[in-house]
Structure 1
């Protein structure tokens, strides 16, 4: 399909990169009716020489992250519809098996079943060692304990898929231009103007950067620091094995000559479809697929290899691929992976597949792909420039779904898949904090993401040894003095609990159920004691990391009304809880808005690691007469909360803190001794409390004043683990977990935050929800019937064998005496009193839908 047509002078949309992500995006944009789409690539087509060209194309659909599973599930369906020029289906639905060699991995595979059930993967199941060997006769069942089987997993050739997607796109009017290196994107007044290539410019309104391992370089030229990190992993193909048949003939494949020109003799193998289930041995970071009568062996089982993006080559005319580096035998034959120091990859591979032992490896290379700081795609509209989009750090497995969601996003303003909206907050290119754009950070964390890609990772795990102590609040050293268990949140060092509160266990320990196993990891019973102490006495929490925006200007009131679902006609000194919705009515954020002056407002949100998405959203929509300034780092903020909070604060301020003088959801400026403070009468913990904001240089002094005043009232610090428990008992949503863009305000049970007499973004869709349309699921507050049990989020909610939904968030409620879970269920199941079950760690836990809030 390679073409040498001249470069067009203009286009509506230019996609830079004709790998699987660029081709998928072009396919879906043209499917939606766009005709003026141009795709440019530095290499030949369809074998561009990027990651899509060397990837073995195995597709394991199930992942802990819902978004990856949904992308993969859609990709499977898309690839199954594609055919080559001879009418052959491109997707090989061989099934996929992940094996376990340890008890810990078998428990992980049980979680695979639960995640697969929650995310809609067809028929996920566990297999005995013997059943694994039945499906994969070359596997030695004596070295495994069992396997996870997904019957619809399989394989697709990235090159063949690119060819089919590109052909369909061109049939609908798109233009593909190979052998054309993009040098820059021209911008003016914050808007995209043109793509600058080595052969000339293409004037355009929109650009999609879909260059994967090269994405960082192009972004740097624009001053956009994309934390996209190229990493290497090894792939090898054995000599022919007697145990495998060879009925392949790929020489007549339409892409064969092009593929062989770029990839050499290994194209003969890579174009051959597998004839049995794909295989993964995650205990040794290995994966396998057949290539005719040979086995392909992929290894992540070596130390991270992170090339400098500035030193990456391009795809040259002589066929040399910039995404492929020379194979290093050392990393195959020696144990170099930091977490797997006892066995070399080749040894582990030969143990599992004895037929490969001693066989020559005919094809060997180090292929590159891209990682991000959280292992998820980097996609969406770049806030710095109107018309600039990204789609990077995406595998062949997920490219079909990612391209569809991105195209919907570009068309309608909200990402969707055919079964409905999909929340991409953790994939959004704007989610990153400023420090994450540095190469030091991207290199280290990209390498760490590579290291853990096949590790068993707990949902509460956080970085421990790399890129820590980047952001410290004004009371960082105070937290250390109080023996805080510090975790990294968006670069901030935040307390999860305080070991100095261990003495509280003598007082509250009987009401804190013991935990063991998976549920006890990254947890301390001190969290429970802190929670009960806040409910009974008083606590203080450092909430400096919460995102804060100062909005000002003559048009600030009209602007906020346009953004917010609630009535924002509030007086100076008032606070209002409200939602921000996207164009499709999905909840984009929940915020509190405080009017601090006639044309000044303080907007607060709890976004944590995705909070920058909210900042970008507000900034993007601000008109010229409104100034939006992020002030997160400018203000230290603490919340003083609990029944005795008024007593503590009264000792250090002359302000009248009575209900009459300082009502709920109002704000005042006051002094805490000699520290100027803006006090807000509200609390995310749900108790009597005040959020206290002061310029950062006063923060430590403010803490000291409060701490000294609180000693006679048994004031205790508390961490995020406690806050999560406190807020879920009160029914307060946590955006990114039990509140996100996949649900509208009425599904989320937040109709009180909507005023349909006002106009706001997404109102038409929200009105439909108010009228009973778009209500497929409703929020449900569940408590486990077993008062000592605990479940985690992302597990299926069941009625018998029917999956009704999944747990969005779950924490133990120490005051209510039960684990509290929030899920979105079909309306008939969301009624209080309904009995359901939650599948967690292989056990079914009876749960009951409750009226909320519980307290």
Structure 2
């Protein structure tokens, strides 16, 4: 790799960080035609001294999260096409095996197969212990119950891949500048102007912060508080093993060896030696393994989390010591220090699984660092409020190829894509975070928690316990506590999932709520069912405060709202309209309700939870001068009173005429509920008669109590998010970020009725093409399971005659329809009502039928 020590004075794009992420971004940008790209790094190249240098490069593709799996699959393909400096393929496709020591882990490995089938990974398999040892003869078959095998998993050296990516990028015009620490990013009038380094200044239009464990420091200089935490984990390499003697290799002649040795010392001899057999994970003991010639490498997450303060990291020192590597902590290997694994030390677990390592010296050992985020996903995309500032952090070698491709597409063409189509990155978007998440205390604690659970069997509904809870309370919080609410954390809010005070209704509805026993029973209560049925038959009250709310104000607010929205937004004051926002490629960016509250004022209501802030950032970034976008989520309490008896309840506490004639559907009025001012919208996400009520936060608890009191004689009960999900899914209402996102256009989602092509809006050209049928590859489908007692969960494959044709986007039991309801996207020929399909779940196949939607009308 021939880098330059000459610092350019200007560039169109500067990538800060030449590790695996920065090199991938530069590779992709130049492949897409960008020639004026400069990459700077504080270390030498390609061995910069970050985690790409010390990481063993194992690549297990399958994850519960689709984003990570798709990124990994693309990375595998990309690295397979790269030629290393030694002329060999950069990717070693040796396969990957995850073993189980417990029944719980074996069930997890079955889910692995189902996730792999859902996300498109080739030939996933469950193996017997004997089949595991056919691939890995040094594993003790008596210690395991079986394994998960992915034949296309493998290993890619970070250094070899970085070198190959950088050489290709330089051939296309990019410049790579080593030994150059970035000190600041100059911004003027909200736009990037230059990168300031220790060796000079580079004027530029765009900056990509791809510094992983150092990302937080650079962000702080700009007032951008990235919740990216460096965490330590252990890696060791044994002395040569007699059982691997035939695999000994000499890598000292490798073209990168001298460079690697200068940064990593003698362990470069091991790190450059590729594996000769499948990589291995023993997640029950938070360990992983790969061979290095005649040595076994042992990685361990099996210890107490260590989260260094980024301010203490510094850079590589003059002696060549890596800032991303700390001294090995012997007790972490020899003692059981992991909070969830107190009974066995990592060394004992390792020697049990691979007896050939027992008693052998660990020749090379260190604590290496990588970056964690609050949900374990990347932190990437354009930073709100800064034109030209991009991030790409908390990304591993496994996922860096896909992340680099998606980011480059985003930068050049406006939307993230992989070769097989658009990929929604809402849950990885840098703008997804709430303000409290930027604090170092939160970042440190959640970084440690993410480290702790990285190899644990985690339920998709799991929520934080203990650390960093009870941060945000809705005004109704104290009432929720009094009513024994089961509170879950969402974006820092403490929100009810169900209310134990409603347990007295369980007997009434017992015959309509099937029992659950398996994975689907975890984090579930039959109270969710009774709350949903009570809404359908009587009336319920739901706290909606955590949903994101925006006010758009100004003389040009109407024109701006029309530009944002696909529907005709020329509405009168007091009217409410459901609409979509699309991105430039026609993908659904959000679904929202818009209320015109005054001549030049609009209220936009959209999804809450983790993804809601992305919508706020999107609207703000597109707002022209003269239009003010206020995030009023915290300043307005919100609730919905809904169900057949909703009008009776509200009539107890207001003199307003609530009849259909005086207060039609999709209209809004301002009035008083007793002594509380409200803005009331005649809409309901539950699909029943109902009013959403908004009031300044200080009135929220009073309003809630007024309604609870008024509803006592009308069967009113509060209900949580569990019931809401059941209600909305059987009504056919989409949930953005779950069964609606930017990967689909409005016509694929079945929401083409919310598009008016006589108006102008962002993405209109692409949406018009979809309306003409030019871009319809999938179609939304509503399925119900044929077995009325069965329940499945999201992320599992939908099958036709045994072949995967889609996956479950969302699923919940519909207590009104008496069946589990599934939403998915399928090739159009399979989405026709009456089509008989199957869903694979927990190793079983469940018959399902496509239905007309909505199921409840």
Alignment of 1:309-458 (within 5 A): 309-458=310-459
Counterpart in 2 of 1:645?
646
3-state SS of paired residue (1:701):
helix
Alignment of 1:43-54 (within 5 A): 43-54=43-54
Specify every segment of 5 or more residues in structure 2 that has no aligned partner in the other structure, as ranges: none
**Contact 1:43 1:316 (C-alpha < 8 Å) held by counterparts:** no
1:607 deviates by: 3.2
**How many angstroms apart in 1 are the aligned matches of 2:770 and 2:343?**
57
3-state SS of paired residue (2:115):
helix
Counterpart in 1 of 2:497?
496
Counterpart in 1 of 2:210?
210
Counterpart in 1 of 2:95?
95
Counterpart in 2 of 1:16?
16
The answer to whether structure 1 residue 38 and structure 2 residue 57 are counterparts is: no
3-state SS of paired residue (2:426):
coil
1:260 deviates by: 0.4
Counterpart in 2 of 1:668?
669
The answer to whether structure 1 residue 160 and structure 2 residue 154 are counterparts is: no
Counterpart in 2 of 1:826?
827
**How many angstroms apart in 2 are the aligned matches of 1:97 and 1:645?**
55
Counterpart in 2 of 1:633?
634
**Contact 1:776 1:827 (C-alpha < 8 Å) held by counterparts:** yes
TM-score, scaled to structure 2:
0.99
3-state SS of paired residue (1:264):
helix
3-state SS of paired residue (1:350):
helix
Number of positions where the alignment pairs a residue of Structure 1 with one of Structure 2: 855
**Contact 2:839 2:848 (C-alpha < 8 Å) held by counterparts:** yes
Counterpart in 2 of 1:28?
28
3-state SS of paired residue (2:711):
helix
Query: For residues 649-679 of structure 1, what are the alpha-carbon distances to aligned partners after superposition, in whole Å with 9 as ceiling and x for unaligned?
Result: 0010011000000000000001001110000
Query: For residues 152-183 of structure 1, what are the alpha-carbon distances to aligned partners after superposition, in whole Å with 9 as ceiling and x for unaligned?
Result: 00001000000000000000000000000000
**Contact 1:224 1:384 (C-alpha < 8 Å) held by counterparts:** no
Counterpart in 1 of 2:105?
105
**How many angstroms apart in 1 are the aligned matches of 2:789 and 2:100?**
30
Counterpart in 1 of 2:742?
741
Counterpart in 2 of 1:67?
67
Counterpart in 1 of 2:137?
137
**How many angstroms apart in 1 are the aligned matches of 2:504 and 2:841?**
32
3-state SS of paired residue (1:72):
helix
1:325 deviates by: 0.3
Counterpart in 1 of 2:532?
531
**How many angstroms apart in 1 are the aligned matches of 2:247 and 2:712?**
78
Counterpart in 1 of 2:817?
816
3-state SS of paired residue (2:781):
strand
**Contact 1:548 1:603 (C-alpha < 8 Å) held by counterparts:** yes
Moved more, 608-617 or 78-87: 78-87
1:2 deviates by: 5.3
Counterpart in 2 of 1:114?
114
RMSD: 0.7
1:544 deviates by: 0.4
Query: For residues 424-462 of structure 1, what are the alpha-carbon distances to aligned partners after superposition, in whole Å with 9 as ceiling and x for unaligned?
Result: 000000000110000010000010000000000001111
**How many angstroms apart in 2 are the aligned matches of 1:325 and 1:84?**
28
Query: For residues 760-815 of structure 1, what are the alpha-carbon distances to aligned partners after superposition, in whole Å with 9 as ceiling and x for unaligned?
Result: 11111111111111111100000000000000001000012211000000000000
Specify every segment of 5 or more residues in structure 1 that has no aligned partner in the other structure, as ranges: none
TM-score, scaled to structure 1:
1.00
1:625 deviates by: 1.1
**How many angstroms apart in 2 are the aligned matches of 1:360 and 1:686?**
66
Counterpart in 2 of 1:471?
472
**Contact 2:122 2:152 (C-alpha < 8 Å) held by counterparts:** yes
**How many angstroms apart in 2 are the aligned matches of 1:373 and 1:34?**
33
3-state SS of paired residue (1:394):
coil
Alignment of 1:650-729 (within 5 A): 650-729=651-730
1:313 deviates by: 2.2
3-state SS of paired residue (1:583):
coil
**Contact 2:3 2:175 (C-alpha < 8 Å) held by counterparts:** no
Counterpart in 1 of 2:776?
775
Query: For residues 120-161 of structure 1, what are the alpha-carbon distances to aligned partners after superposition, in whole Å with 9 as ceiling and x for unaligned?
Result: 000000000000011000000000000000000000100000
3-state SS of paired residue (1:811):
strand
3-state SS of paired residue (1:442):
helix
Counterpart in 1 of 2:85?
85
Alignment of 1:289-328 (within 5 A): 289-328=290-329
Alignment of 1:505-654 (within 5 A): 505-654=506-655
Moved more, 511-520 or 716-725: 511-520
Moved more, 601-610 or 676-685: 601-610
Moved more, 554-563 or 3-12: 3-12
Counterpart in 1 of 2:271?
270
**Contact 2:247 2:276 (C-alpha < 8 Å) held by counterparts:** no
